[in-house]
Structure 1
Amino acid sequence: MTGFPILRLYRPSLAAIALCTSGLGYAQDTLPARPDGTAPDARTIKAGMGLTEEITVTGWRLRQLDTPVPTASRLNLSIRDTPATLDRIGADEILTRGFRTVEEATDSLPGIISGGAPGDPSLFSMRGFTGEQVMILHNGLYLGPANMINRPGNTFNIASIDVLKGPASVLYGQGAIGGVVNIVNKHPDFDGNTRQALASYGSFDTVSLGLGGNMVLSDTLAGRADVSYHRTDGYVDDAGSNSFNATGALLFQPASDLSVELSVDYLRDNLSTYYGTPLVSADFAADSIEGILSGADGRVIDRRMRFTNYNVNDDKAHSWQIWPRLVVNWSPSDAVTLSNTAYYFHAERQWINAENYVFNSDTNLIDRDRFFVFHNQDLVGDQGSATFRHTLFGLSNQLVVGFDYNHLDFVRSRGFPDGDSVDPLNPVRGSFGPIQKRVSPTRWDQIALFAEDSLDLTSRLKLVTGLRAERLYLTRENYGPDGAFQPAISFRRTYKPFNWRAGLVYDVAPHVTAYASYSTGKDPVGSNIFLVNAGQNFGLSSSRQFEAGIKADLLDGRGSLTAAVYDIRRSDILTQVAIDTLNNVGKQTSRGFELSGELKVSRNWAVTGSGTYVDAEYQDFIDPNYGIAASGNRPPNVPAWTGNVWTSVQHIGGLPLEAGGGVKYVGKRYGNTANDLVLKPYATGILYATYSLTPRLSLTARVNNVWGKTFVQWADIYYPAQVMLGEPRRAEASILARF
């Protein structure tokens, strides 16, 4: 362990306790991490030290480089020993910064921006790739394409969000090119009884509530339950949202070598139905918002339309889902561990909206479409593995081999009724109109065999390898509006992806590690696996990444530094080669560097920061959606530069007061493949202050987007006449109780 514990017996603020157990600036070096890689809480530290008073452990190591993080490997490797870039934000850090959704929390990590659109909830951009090329996992399991399956999610119920950068198909199969976002739920443990309650209220009539805790029921049985509710009227007229999430689990551990965990996750939500603000001609705009975008056609955002809702009155973006899991871990000997996860996932989703808002210069009206889509999804799966710890040719070695099987039934019903036109300044919302479905059932059976190995070539040099071979049997049926089967556009297809990675990890010095790796990835040509059609009779797109980096503890544990350079090439992507012909000859490249670090400036002052640069472009590519020649262009929503800085100061003036804040910078991006819609750079800030009313009760005031900056958060290429504007200044107050 590289940090140095300094124990102070006093009554700290609850925020200080939260921060000492989070990734924000103070972490534990006195006790080992839990098996899932999460840090022990303050109660655990107190018990482990044999103390009865509240304490703060200021042994400081934000990144916890020696903590195992299963998202990056099934070998239980630490962050330091993993030949890849891994970022993590924990529950207490999320709480301190006031992130209420998974999207907000993930967006705060190095080199990541998000979309915020209800049609693609929790849509991310990282390392030059967006949308379906960034995989979303839940507790390490893939439930389907991110842009169709994922929901924004409440953060109160989760333990951490882990982000693995670059291709990860060797671990999780098709679809992970830019990276993986893994959302990890809180789970039971035997550390003691803990409870937490949260209530907050803020601008736009925003309310967040949370109640949960852990209970040790016996020497062999522990349970946990967390319930959260979040709602807001939203910053666009009549475009509010709400979400209810309940998670619970029982952990049975009859022996130290056997554990059985049964959990369930239930979510019901209604997303905001704000799909963007229309671009209008400069002649029409009486008060254009300067400095947020520029386009070749001179269109602008009119301030008068900033908060106007152009959706219909009976709009809907609703879902509910339930997900039980059974996880069994057994170690019959010190050399062998067997693991199995069986799960079932059911979800129903509905979108009924006017989504495209096109300003018509001839009429000075907004032309609206209509689009509806329903999902009914059932996924059942089982994942098993065996881990062996042994010697190979006299060298220490870890090997994991396993299988991954799942069966999907997914029914997608959609339609495109006639649209209408409305006044840009005083739109008559109207109603959606009649619904006539076109149904497209999708079935797949996926079976994969995987293996990973970690071999200690010397005491300082480690070779980490992995491979995954799978078969995906896909069946797509299409039915017309009259319910008649359409055999011409229905099909069956078999995909046979094979991926591998290899990396070397070298301890340059006791607390400095360098690594280099090569990895491959696969994903569907042109779209996600749920939308591939009969005409796209191609194999999978192929990707490869070279990456090298360094991870180091600095200044006797008072700081840490991570840096990486990478080069990604994605080949065989769908491109238009003639007026009516598509082919898979396109390419996309991305290369860049990432740098992040932390420093404990003084006993009570911590600073963290990061900066990333990416040079991404298309090659041999004509956009198949619009026929735009885009070779040499940057992919949409990919900033060249991003940066974050965060600081916190505790015990201000000797009081139980903590204050801090952060700034996020996002550089210039493009809003389309033609690169003629420029989204200007922006920076937003957060300020907060937390006062400890009692050792277990704290009050926090927080302001997001403190400068009230108007900025373009995202531009969806499928809605080319509008952009998503970011949230204005938001103030909130919250109260947190731990008991």
Structure 2
Amino acid sequence: MPRCFSPSRAHSLASCVAAIPLMLGIAAPASADEAPVADDAGESIVVTARAQKLYRVTNTEIGKIAADPMDVPQSVQVINSEMIEDQGARDIRDLYRNVPGVSADNYATVTYRGFSQDVTYYDGLRGDPFQTFSVPQLFTIERVEFLKGPAGMLYGSGSPGGTINYVTKKPGDVFGGNVRVIGGGRNRYGGSADVTGPLDAAGDITARAGLFYEDMDSYRDKASSRTFVGDAGLAVKLAPDTKLTVQLTDYDQNLPGNRLRGIPIDADGNFYAKRSWNHNDPDDYIRYNGLVTQARLDSKLTDALSFNAAARWFKYDEDQKYHEPVALRDTDADGVYDTITREYRDQKRKVDGLSFGANLVAKVSTGSVDHTILLGGDWYRENSSGTNYATRSVPTRSLIDPDYTTDSRPDLSNVTPSYSDARALRRGVYLQEQMGLGEHVILVAGLRRDWFDDADYIEGADASAAATTWRAGAIYKPRKDVSLYVSWSEAFEPQSVTDQSPLAGGPFAPETGSQWEVGAKTDLMDGRVQATLAAYRIVRRNVLQIDDSQDAVNGIDQLAPIGEVTSKGIEATLTADITNDWLVSANYAYNDTRVTGSVEGQAVDRSVGGRFPNAPQNKAGFWTRYQVAAIDTAFSVGGQYVSSQIDRSGDRLKPFTVFDATISHDFGIFDAKFRIENIFDKFYAVSGFTGPKGAYIGNARSWFVELRRKF
């Protein structure tokens, strides 16, 4: 068999890719939509890639009902599989630059219209298997849906910034699949294969199976990652209009030296260490294993009535051994920090969750008014437990000349561990009415009631409460491809169970959020020009702060819900065909998030002064693709700009601009892609922690070559 990853053997590499379907025993019929078209000379011509074909999405369930984004009275953006593929995205962080108002926070957490967001959904259900230091992978994802602003009426508790919903890949009705191999810089290599299609002649039973593996070194010293994903699905038609889909996904990650914090910075955003610096030792690691099982039943009961019900169970285990930065030190008294003290931690965490959701949708007409009525409910329970050993009896780490050869894993036999054991329970019911008044007006109104119960079994604390949220909106369509809308929506988020303790002055009402939004959406020239413009104002209340007017009780600070934060902004997106072969996608967001209600001399958690941390005021991104059909090649260039921010300690994070590029070529038997990211090797911070934990940094320059065979 030829060597598949020798840079000098491109032809052998192509042979490897072409041979994979044969080794798997898979026949590879060409898809009519994907096969190149031959001209009289026998040359292949790449199918024209236009905006209305590549990136256009005309259906989303982010609002619980299948609808065109043009008919949703809130800002909605969907990144579909074509854009994920076109940009070579491997995890969710690769997509942020396409979505105005969304920027990186840390790990899987994002800043969403000024607020940190760490709750995500899969096919409309809670049950995120990536909650701490692992990042959501995209191999199993068909599209990612972003709903901007509060979504309490639709999804229950959550941040007012917005909602992220991952739509997973399902078994297809038509046979197809693809095989990929990848090789690149920093010893990167890997591959994936997936296949889908019917299992019986009638097509009543369909299936999907996929495998993904990738191994690569980090730009941080002594750090690397190995990721495996196995995914399978089975769909069965129980009746002509009833389908049951069952899915199973296994995730396994080994991240040596990769439980990473940032690089420490000074007040002006200058780094104290090189980008490659690592506070971990070579034998530190995160090992993660997650398992997800999901089932959904869809049934059309009558022409006017449809029903769906879904369940999702997940669990994951994380084993972490790492060194946490503790404090900066100036050992030579020159006024510049050159050393950091560390704490060694040995942690084990187990999480499991179970969620249910059901929706009944009725579509009826009364005279000239069309009604779409949604009645639904959901239930979610999550259990988490952990064991944590920690000691500061470990060597310091130089910021200037780090020594990674010393074995600093301490003896923990005399260390007393701390334990965690908690449960979160959420349940809610909701009702929404959407009315179509002729061809030009759509009105939406919905109401939801939620109950939550949280328990900390170690501390013996518990908290429970209820909340009501609603949303309303109106859309005016002067023509079918233009929507003008206004909406009001609300959100709530329970306080943490530890803050609910009566010893701290609790229990407290949940944090609440509300938003006004106005905007316009277009889908002009049959999708050739897709644009959105939105303006919003979000107010978040009941943010807890330490109440300095009260004395501490038995060493416990007294809290009070006296914080308010306001986020205001404008967002715009444009995707357009400049010519038949030239596509451009661009976006811009302005956001001003500030503390607007606070006791004098106090600051809301994770804020300094008037500005909120990790909330850039200006963010812009673009992606352009030009296809040269005569040579079966597409050239793409993208970039993003993010303005200055502050971290949680008030230090400034400098603005940055980065670019990337892709060249794709159709060789007939396979497609090839060369991609380079951070072309000019910019050393930049995307968000900030606190002083010693530093600034979370963007990837160094990297490249890869991917070969793919579709069938």
Task: Tell me the TM-score range normalised by the shorter chain.
Answer: 0.7 to 0.9
Among residues 280, 288, 308, which one is paired with 1:311 in the alignment?
Answer: 280
1:710 to 659, 683, 686: 683
1:77 maps to what in 2? 67
Q: Shift in Å at residue 358 of structure 1?
A: 2.9
Asked if structure 2 preserves the Cα contact closer than 8 Å seen for 1:278 and 1:358, the reply is no
Compute the displacement of 1:521 (Å): 0.2
2:312 aligns with 343
SS in 2 for 1:603: coil
1:387 aligns with 2:361: yes
Provide Cα deviations, 1:377-408, integer angstroms capped at 9, x if missing partner: 22223212211111246521011112212333
Letter in 1 for 2:398: D
**Do the aligned partners of residues 67 and 554 (structure 1) sit closer, same or farther apart at CA in structure 2, a change above 3 Å counting?**
closer
1:125 aligned partner, one-letter code: T
1:259-270 equivalences under 5 Å are 259-270=243-254
Q: Residue 359 of structure 1 contacts residue 721 of structure 1 at CA under 8 Å; is this kept in 2?
A: no
For residues 125 and 492 of structure 1, the distance between their equivalents in structure 2, rounded to whole angstroms, comes to 29
Q: What is the letter of the counterpart of residue 227 of structure 1?
A: L
Judging changes above 3 Å, is the alpha-carbon distance between structure 1 residues 500 and 44 closer, same or farther for their aligned structure 2 residues? farther
8 Å Cα contact 1:137/1:181 also seen in 2? yes
Specify the SS of the correspondent of 2:93.
helix
Shift of 1:360: 0.6
CA distance in 2, matches of 1:629, 1:209: 40
Does the alignment pair 1:448 with 2:428? yes
Of 58-67 and 464-473, more deviation after overlay is shown by: 58-67
CA distance in structure 1 between the aligned counterparts of 2:207 and 2:546, rounded to whole angstroms: 55
State the identity %: 20
Alignment of 1:457-536 (within 5 A): 457-478=437-458, 489-525=459-495, 535=504
Q: CA deviation at 1:244?
A: 1.0
Separation in 1, partners of 2:671, 2:605 = 55
For residue 475 of structure 1, report the CA deviation from its aligned partner: 1.7
Preserved contact between residue 312 and residue 432 of structure 1 (Cα < 8 Å): no
The aligned residue for residue 398 of structure 2 is 423
Deviation at 1:306, TM superposition (A): 2.7
Report which stretch shifted further, 97-106 or 590-599.
Answer: 97-106
Cα deviation 1:221-280 (Å, max 9, x = unaligned) = 11011111122110011111121111111111143311011111111113462534543x
CA contact (8 A) 2:607 2:613 kept: no
Matches within 5 A, 1:81-230: 81-116=71-106, 121-132=107-118, 135-143=119-127, 147-148=131-132, 151-190=134-173, 192-218=174-200, 219=202, 220-230=204-214
CA 1:276–1:406 in structure 2 vs 1: closer, same or farther (change >3 Å)?
closer
Q: Partners in 2 of 1:87 and 1:432 — Cα distance? A: 48
The match for 1:679 is 653
The amino acid across from 1:589 in the alignment is T
Distance in 2, Cα, partners of 1:626 & 1:60: 46
Specify the alignment match of 2:230 in structure 1.
246
CA drift at 1:56: 3.1
Letter in 1 for 2:286: A
Question: Is the counterpart of residue 648 in structure 1 residue 621 in structure 2?
Answer: no
CA RMSD of aligned residues (A): 2.9
- Structure-1 separation of matches of 2:604 and 2:71: 45
Deviation at 1:625, TM superposition (A): 11
Partner of 1:414: 388
Matching of residue 258 in structure 1 with residue 242 in structure 2: yes
The match for 1:404 among 359, 378, 381 is 378
Q: CA deviation at 1:444?
A: 3.4
Report deviation, 1:689.
0.7
Residues of 1 paired with 2:263 and 2:531: CA distance? Answer: 43
Are positions 1:366 and 2:340 aligned together? yes
Structure 2 stretches lacking a partner, 5+ long:
1-28, 38-43, 333-337, 552-556
Helix, strand or coil for the counterpart of 2:70? coil
Rounded Cα–Cα distance in structure 2 between residues aligned with 1:559 and 1:327:
35
Following superposition, the deviation at residue 143 of structure 1 comes to 2.1
Give the aligned partner of residue 16 of structure 2.
none
Contact preservation (8 Å) 2:51, 2:583: no
CA distance in 2, matches of 1:348, 1:699: 37
**CA contact under 8 A between 2:234 and 2:247: conserved in structure 1?**
yes
Equivalent in 729, 733, 738 of residue 701 of structure 2: 729
Quickly say closer, same or farther: Cα 1:123–1:327, change in 2 above 3 A: same
CA contact (8 A) 1:313 1:431 kept: no
Q: Does the C-alpha gap of structure 1 residues 65 and 600 become closer, same or farther in structure 2, counting only changes over 3 Å?
A: closer
Say which SS state the counterpart of residue 86 (structure 2) adopts.
helix
Q: Work out the CA distance in 2 between the residues paired with 1:85 and 1:604.
A: 28
Native 8 Å contact 2:317 2:350 kept in 1: yes
- C-alpha distance after superposition, 1:494-550 (max 9, x if no partner): 12121110000110223111111000000133x5x6986663531210100001110
**Aligned partner of residue 95 in structure 2, secondary structure:** helix
How big is the shift at 1:157? 2.0
TM-score normalised to structure 2 length: 0.86
Q: Deviations over 1:18-52 (max 9, x none)?
A: xxxxxxxxxxxxxxxxxxxxxxx9937589x9xxx
Shift of 1:140: 1.6
The residue identity in structure 1 corresponding to 2:302 is S
* Separation in structure 2 between the aligned mates of residue 172 and residue 597 of structure 1, nearest angstrom: 28
Q: What letter is aligned with 2:688?
A: A
Question: Residues 255, 64 of structure 1: CA spacing in aligned structure 2 closer, same or farther, 3 A cutoff?
Answer: farther
Per mean C-alpha deviation after superposition, the further-off stretch among 467-476 and 538-547 is 467-476
AA aligned to 2:438 is T
Q: Distance in 2 between matches of 1:201 and 1:182?
A: 30
Q: Determine if contact 2:196/2:208 at 8 Å carries over to the other structure.
A: yes
Q: Deviations over 1:49-100 (max 9, x none)?
A: 9xxx9983666426977712012x1221210000111111122321221111
Partner Cα separation in structure 2 for residue 440 and residue 469 of structure 1: 30
d(CA) in 2 for partners of 1:530, 1:179: 25
Check 1:331–1:624 CA distance in 2 against 1; reply closer, same or farther (3 A cut): farther
The superposition leaves residues 621-677 of structure 1 with CA deviations (integer Å, 9 ceiling, x where unpaired) of 47999998957522111110000111111125x11111111011111111125x3x1
- The Cα of 1:146 is off from its aligned counterpart by 7.1
Is 2:260 aligned against 1:275?
yes
SS of 1:104's equivalent in the other structure is helix
CA shift, 1:107, in A, is 4.5
- Cα 1:270–1:626 change in 2 (3 A) is farther
Counterpart in 2 of 1:56? 47
SS in 2 for 1:266: strand
Letter in 1 for 2:324: E
Rounded Cα–Cα distance in structure 2 between residues aligned with 1:216 and 1:561? 38
Preserved contact between residue 222 and residue 281 of structure 2 (Cα < 8 Å) = no
Distance 2:178 2:648 in 1: 45
Q: 1:432 to 1:353 in 2, by over 3 A?
A: farther
In 1: Cα distance, 2:709 partner to 2:281 partner: 41
Separation in structure 2 between the aligned mates of residue 186 and residue 567 of structure 1, nearest angstrom: 35
Determine if the alignment matches structure 1 residue 67 to structure 2 residue 67.
no
**Maintained 8 Å contact 1:573/1:585:** yes
Contact 2:110–2:116 under 8 Å retained in 1: yes
Query: Structure 1's 392 and 555: CA in aligned 2 closer, same or farther, altered over 3 A?
Result: closer
Paired position in structure 2 for 1:573: 543
When residues 144 and 322 of structure 1 are mapped into structure 2, their CA distance, relative to the original with a 3 A threshold, is closer
Residues 1:503 and 1:490: Cα distance change in structure 2 (over 3 Å): same
1:6 alignment partner in structure 2:
none
Q: How many pairs are equivalent?
A: 654
Q: Residue type matched to 1:56 in 2?
A: V
